[in-house]
Amino acid sequence: MTSILRTVDDIRTQLTRKEDEILQVQRRIDDCEKEMKADKVPWEIRIQHLGLLQEEKNHLRQQQTALLRERMFLSILLRCSCLI
């Protein structure tokens, strides 16, 4: 049971890091968009550049979702082991 608790704590730490990464990418998206608007970059080019950053953000969100599922599974496992 101790190893499960330690794993849950590790996942919690990973989730915090992942959220920080997502926020950093969002800041990059916002900064890039402001910069390109100020430079009057055509919309089509902006979409291409922002699309790449959005893909990175989506990938991080998928990783975050996987961690959340793993944490939920471990929490259920922990509850079940307490019932035994």
Distance of CA 13 to the CA centre of its chain: 12
**What was the pLDDT predicted at 3?**
75
pLDDT computed for residue 83 by the predictor: 52
Give the model's pLDDT for residue 78. 79
Structure tokens at 16: 């915090």
Domain ranges of the chain: 2-83
DSSP collapsed to 3 states, 20-69: HHHHHHHHHHHHHHHHHHHCCCCHHHHHHHHHHHHHHHHHHHHHHHHHHH
Eight-state DSSP code of residue 76: H
The one-digit pLDDT tens for each residue of the chain (84 residues) are 567 677 888 999 999 999 999 999 999 999 999 999 999 999 999 999 999 999 999 999 999 999 999 999 988 887 786 655
**Which tokens is 76 given?**
């259920």
